[in-house]
Amino acid sequence: MAIDELDSRLLVTMRANPRIGLTELARLLGVARGTVQARVEKLTARGVIADFGPSISPEAVGYPILAFVSLQIAQGRLTEAVQALGTVPEILEVYGTSGQADLLCRVVARSTPDLQEIIARILASPAVQRTDTTIALSVQIPFRVDPLLTAAPQR
């Protein structure tokens, strides 16, 4: 489902002002408060707005190392592997992938020795056959959706 120009403006404004109220949002967009409320509810119900919580920087809470860990999983043991990964708090995300790896994990650590310990915990699961780790040295383009939101109504 696509978003229209008003949805795009609404989302970009909400992202730029995460603590904004509906009345102020309506004023900035030049539409009625009821329109803004209905749009926010619709976008939330559709899953476009995923949450209203604060974004947390793992680095700021003591996890300055970011790594991507690719996993090869034993045949037929994906569910077991995912359950084991779910017990490791330093694993922020896990994606099923195509190609040589079965899963791609976004992992944070306090230090490189800590990362090694996390990888050892991942490998402790009999469902995980092999890992390949890449440490991120810098962020060249941070996570962003605003350009996507701006382009979406035009397509």
The mean pLDDT value for 130-139 works out to 98
Residue 155's pLDDT is what? 64
Q: 19, exposed or middle or buried, with CB in 10 Å at 0-12, 13-18, 19+?
A: exposed
Give the C-alpha distances (Å, rounded to integers) separating 71 from 17, 49, 82, 120: 38, 30, 11, 12
**pLDDT-derived band of residue 53, with 50, 70 and 90 as boundaries?**
confident
Q: Map out the domains of the chain with their CATH numbers.
A: 5-54 (1.10.10.10), 59-135 (3.30.70.920)
Among 36, 88, 91, CA closest to 67: 91
Residue 133's pLDDT is what? 98
Angle at 93 between CA 105 and CA 87, to 5 degrees: 90
The mean pLDDT value for 13-38 works out to 96
The mean pLDDT value for 8-36 works out to 95
pTM, two decimals, is 0.86
